[in-house]
Amino acid sequence: MIFDNLRRIYVALTPEEWVRQHFIHYLIEQQNYPATLMANETSITLNNTRRRCDTVVYDRTLRPRMIIEYKAPTVKIDSKVFAQISRYNLVLRVDYLVVSNGLQHYCCKMDYANNRYTFMQGIPPYHEI
C-alpha cells in the first residue's frame, strides 16, 4: 500500500501506481504543479460509459488543462495508449496530453484551431500551461 496525497487514501502499490506516485511528486516538486489543482482517478462519461482519467490537472479557474495516463513500466507506450487518452480528451478538451510508463514520457500540446497536436521536448512547468 502507498498513500496517495491527492486522493488522501492508501491505495495498492501496483506497477502503474508506482509510476503515478513518482510522476505526481515530480510535477509537484520539480515543475511547481499545485497539488490542490490536480486530481487522480477523475470520472468522466464517454459514450454513456463511465471512465476514469488517471490524473487531471486544472488551472486556477478549475478548467481542465492536462490529462495524464500512466502505464506500468513493462507496458510499451504505443498508439493504443494515445487512442485511449485521446478518447478521454473528447470529453475534457484539455491543452496537454501526457502519457508515461515511468521510463518514457510523452507530452502533446493540442492545437484545436488547426486540428493537430505537437510533441513537446518535455513536460512544461505549471506556469506554462
Regions of the chain with pLDDT less than 50:
none
| pLDDT value of residue 88 | 92
- Classify 70 as helix, strand or coil: strand
Q: What is the pLDDT of residue 112?
A: 93
* CA-derived radius of gyration, the chain: 14
- 128: Cβ–Cβ under 8 A, 6 or more apart, which residues? none
CATH class of 2-128: alpha beta
Predicted local confidence at residue 52, as pLDDT: 93
Q: What is the pLDDT of residue 93?
A: 95
